[in-house]
């Protein structure tokens, strides 16, 4: 009747510029129990991007084979390129008891939740409106169109917040990483993630009766 710490699948979404990437890298670096999922894409690597680090870079044919063979947990198309989450790595890490982290926008997050009902959905936000505006405007070098596009995108993303399990405010990085870790730890103690333990306890109670 022990709490069995099977891995949880964690989906991280949030406003662009909320610092999701840095946050996740720091989380994996600080604590032992995490594995970062690397997505597969058909887009070309940018200078400095490494195969298997930022993404797995594959051809359109290979990607579509993966779709056909149910090798992806979710996938989407942006600007004529495919992006998806390879299933095998995720499932192997969960089996090992690792908590696996994916960074996906809301549509993908909801698809993951359908396939993995115990997935934990976290939404990262900047601490306040001024900061949000600053981050959306970038370093002041962005065109009005780019800023407008980011604002529209942020509004769309904000629509879905209620679908998430937890909100994470990214103010100070170290604090936010600790906070995120303790929310994930808490998620291990929900009944739906401890079905086996509850079943065992009921069986034992019946035997005593």
- Residue numbers at the binding site for its own copies (CB under 8 A): 1-3, 123, 125, 127-129, 132-133, 136, 148, 151-152, 154-155, 158, 161-162, 164-169, 179, 182-183, 185-187, 189-192, 194, 197-198, 201-202, 204-206, 208-209
State the Cα–Cα distance between residues 103 and 14, nearest whole angstrom. 9
Nearer to its own copies among residue 45 and residue 97 (C-beta): 97
Nearest distance from C-beta of residue 1 to its own copies, angstroms: 5
State the Cα–Cα distance between residues 49 and 84, nearest whole angstrom. 17
Nearest distance from C-beta of residue 147 to its own copies, angstroms: 9
Nearest distance from C-beta of residue 153 to its own copies, angstroms: 10
Which stretches of 79-156 are assigned E, i.e. beta strand? 81-86, 99-103, 120-125
Nearest distance from C-beta of residue 54 to its own copies, angstroms: 29
Nearest distance from C-beta of residue 116 to its own copies, angstroms: 18
Nearer to its own copies among residue 52 and residue 191 (C-beta): 191
Helix axes 129-137, 144-159, angle to 10 degrees: 130
Nearer to its own copies among residue 67 and residue 148 (C-beta): 148
**Burial track 90-116 (b if 16+ CB lie within 10 A, e otherwise):** beebbeeebbbbbbbbbebbbbbbeeb
The first and second tokens of residue 101, run together, are 């982290």
Token match 């900061």: residue?
A: 131
Determine whether 123 is exposed, middle or buried from the number of CB atoms within 10 Å of its CB (0-12, 13-18, 19+): buried
CA angle at 165 for the pair 109 and 157, rounded to the nearest 5° = 50
Nearer to its own copies among residue 92 and residue 202 (C-beta): 202
Which residues, at least 6 apart from 166, have a Cβ–Cβ distance to it below 8 Å?
A: 120, 121, 122, 123, 183, 187
Nearer to its own copies among residue 26 and residue 185 (C-beta): 185
Nearer to its own copies among residue 69 and residue 209 (C-beta): 209
Nearest distance from C-beta of residue 51 to its own copies, angstroms: 36
Q: What is the DSSP letter of 45?
A: P
């Amino acid at each position: 009747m022990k709490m069995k710490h099977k891995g949880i699948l964690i989906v991280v979404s949030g406003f662009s510029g909320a610092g999701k990437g840095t946050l996740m890298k720091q989380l994996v670096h600080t604590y032992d129990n995490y594995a970062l999922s690397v997505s597969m894409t058909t887009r070309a690597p940018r200078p400095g991007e490494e195969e298997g680090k930022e993404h797995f870079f594959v051809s359109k044919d290979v990607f579509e084979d993966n779709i056909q063979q149910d090798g992806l947990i979710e996938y989407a198309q942006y600007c004529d390129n495919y992006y998806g989450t390879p299933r095998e790595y995720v499932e192997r890490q969960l089996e090992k008891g690792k908590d696996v982290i994916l960074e996906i926008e809301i549509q993908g997050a909801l698809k993951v939740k359908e396939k993995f009902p115990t997935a934990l959905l976290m939404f990262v936000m900047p601490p306040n409106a001024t900061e949000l505006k600053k981050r959306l405007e970038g370093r002041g070098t962005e065109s009005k169109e780019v800023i407008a596009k980011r604002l529209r995108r942020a509004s769309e993303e904000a629509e879905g917040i209620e679908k998430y399990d937890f909100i994470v405010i990214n103010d100070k990085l170290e604090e936010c990483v600790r906070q995120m870790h303790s929310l994930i730890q808490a998620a291990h103690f929900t009944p739906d993630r401890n079905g086996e333990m509850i079943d065992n306890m009921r069986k034992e109670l019946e035997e005593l009766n």
